[in-house]
Amino acid sequence: MDKRETTILVVDDDEDFRLQMKLQLEPAGFRVATAGSEIEAESALAAGRPDVAILDVMMENMDSGLVLCHKAKKRYPDLPVILVTNVVGDTGVLIDLATKDERSWIQADAVLDKPVRQEQLQREIKRLLKT
Amino acid sequence: MATETFRVLVVDDEPGMRSGVQRVLKAFRVSLPEEETQVAFELSEADSGEEGLHLIRTRPPHILLLDHKLPGMQGLDVLDVVAREHPEILPVMITAYASIETAISATRRGAFDFLAKPFTPGELRAVLHKAARHLVLQERAARLAKEKLQVRFQFISVLAHELKAPLAAVEGYLRLLQQGSVAPGSPACSQAVNRSLERLDGMRKLILDLLDLTRIESGHGRSKPGVVDLLEAARRSAEGVLPQAGARGIRVNVQSGPPVLVHAGPEEVDMILNNLLTNAVKYNRDGGDVEVTVAQDSQGTRLRVRDTGIGMSEEEAGRLFQEFSRIKNARTRDIPGSGLGLSIVRRLARLYGGEVAVQSCPGEGSTFTVTLPSNIPWAESGIASPGPGVP
């Protein structure tokens, strides 16, 4: 797949996280689109299918990312979704995809903890784009 | 008015005494209007120290009426056990020998009060009134302490989060530089550095606001109160926000006219004005207006700061003055702030016996009004009153 065609949608209410994703993904050859809220993300998704979506879990609501993930998958069932979270530190809620039960309700293809390590993120993106 | 029932256990070997207490307490109510509570009593009896302890261990009473002279185990021995096992019980000693020695010895062992035999129904009621009041106040104090602790805990956990967020952002940018994803000297690099500096600046402002807040709360370091011209202070504050206002074409207009004098600490007045004016600019639209007016009559002084900014809903206005309750929506998302400014304004206004209120309409703007009474309660607020010669 030609990397220059690949669009990654980054959704996070943290302006700095969005900028940091841009700064590290653009030099790697991706096109980065950003949205700062659940609503913005929904219109971005309605406008077209990105190649990968990276969603923050906690935005205006505690579960914004999970709700968005659900909606994104409904619209584009094969869209790879990466959830990023620091939910454990803030609320004690732990999200992982270890069990089948959790995979079935969370629906995401990968879950990464904040701070997101660059190699890990790029590895996940590559893996998800191959399948 | 809430009704509370306190359990009373009377331990006395004389049946006449127990039934007497029973008769007095049956219809007796203690009303504590200032605590908005009415107290009723539920009586149980024991004819010996041993039986009394058994009852105390199965269902501890709130108040214990304990005879000094008992057939087996003595009253003072029962008192010792109660003090050790149930220090929350209020023991009242009933004694025929109302000697000072007995009183001292019983007090040392934890007796709350005394009743000298023979006592009148009025004396018994008086003692129970005192005991009930003590218990209600104690409960209230414990509840308040718990609530305060909870508020404090919540404040600290939000504060920790607010301090962690900028650190995480700066760390993120530094890692990008370290990994080489952002080349030194590139536009991306200056973007990363500028954002880092902005976040650190926000963090410093939060810490300064926090220091203001603790200073107000602790009562230390307040500036010496004197006579302050509100209009003059407002003009100075307006000059302070001019750079930010000018950059966005916002006009800041302070009412002209003769001085409007108030008794207050100059630093506190500056804090109020700076917070309100900074907000009026921050949350304004480009090319908007900020207007500061002051009105004074015999009732007191009203300071108004009106903006033509984004405004807010009634629900949002309701929680605006709480600590860290920044209104989060698409329009406020990129506006930095510590979330403490308005809570500082409210604390200061209340310090002077005044209040702050907001009137707002989404999309049209907000008006903040600080009212200061003409008689500022210096004594209650803990501020030294202005010296003689001050008008």
Of A13, A28, A115, the CB nearest to B172: A115
Residues in A closer than 8 angstroms to B335, CB to CB, are none
Which residue of chain B comes nearest to A12, CA vs CA?
B333
Q: What distance in Å separates the CA atoms of residue B175 and residue B245, rounded to the nearest whole number?
A: 35
**Residue A116 per-residue DSSP state:** P
Q: What distance in Å separates the CA atoms of residue B251 and residue B245, rounded to the nearest whole number?
A: 7
Neighbour-count burial of A118, counting CB atoms closer than 10 A to its CB (0-12 exposed, 13-18 middle, 19+ buried): middle
A3: pLDDT strictly greater than 60: no
pLDDT of residue B131: 93
Q: Is A39 on the interface with B (CB under 8 A)?
A: yes
pLDDT of residue B263: 86
Nearest to residue B267, comparing CAs of B222, B200, B306, B298?
B222
Q: Quick one: which H or E segment has residue B166?
A: helix B121-179
Interface residue ranges in chain B relative to chain A, Cβ cutoff 8 Å: 161, 165, 168-169, 171-173, 175-176, 179, 181-182, 188, 191-192, 195, 199, 328, 330, 333-334
Mark the ranges of chain B whose per-residue pLDDT is less than 50: 377-391
| Torsion (CA) B145, B146, B150, B153 in degrees, nearest 10 | 70
> Is ipTM strictly over 0.90?
no
- Across the interface, whether the CB atoms of B181 and A90 are under 8 A apart is answered no
Where do we find the tokens 């995979």?
A103
- Across the interface, whether the CB atoms of A19 and B192 are under 8 A apart is answered yes
Task: Tell me the per-residue pLDDT of A45-79, one tens digit each, with 9 for 90 and over.
Answer: 999 999 999 999 888 777 888 899 999 999 999 99
pLDDT of residue B180: 87
- Across the interface, whether the CB atoms of B192 and A13 are under 8 A apart is answered no
Q: What is the mean pLDDT of residues A114-129?
A: 90
DSSP letters spanning B124-160: HHHHHHHHHHHHHHHHHHHHHHHHHHHHHHHHHHHHH
pLDDT of residue A40: 93
Residues in B closer than 8 angstroms to A28, CB to CB, are 181
Percent of chain A with pLDDT over 70: 82
Which residue of chain B comes nearest to A24, CA vs CA?
B181
- Number of Cβ within 10 Å of residue A29's Cβ equals 11
Three-state DSSP state, B33: helix
Residues in B closer than 8 angstroms to A86, CB to CB, are 168
Q: Which of residues 63-122 of A touch B (CB under 8 A)?
A: 86, 90, 114-115, 118
- Is residue A93 very low, low, confident or very high in pLDDT (cuts 50, 70, 90)? low
Nearest to residue B121, comparing CAs of B45, B37, B19?
B19
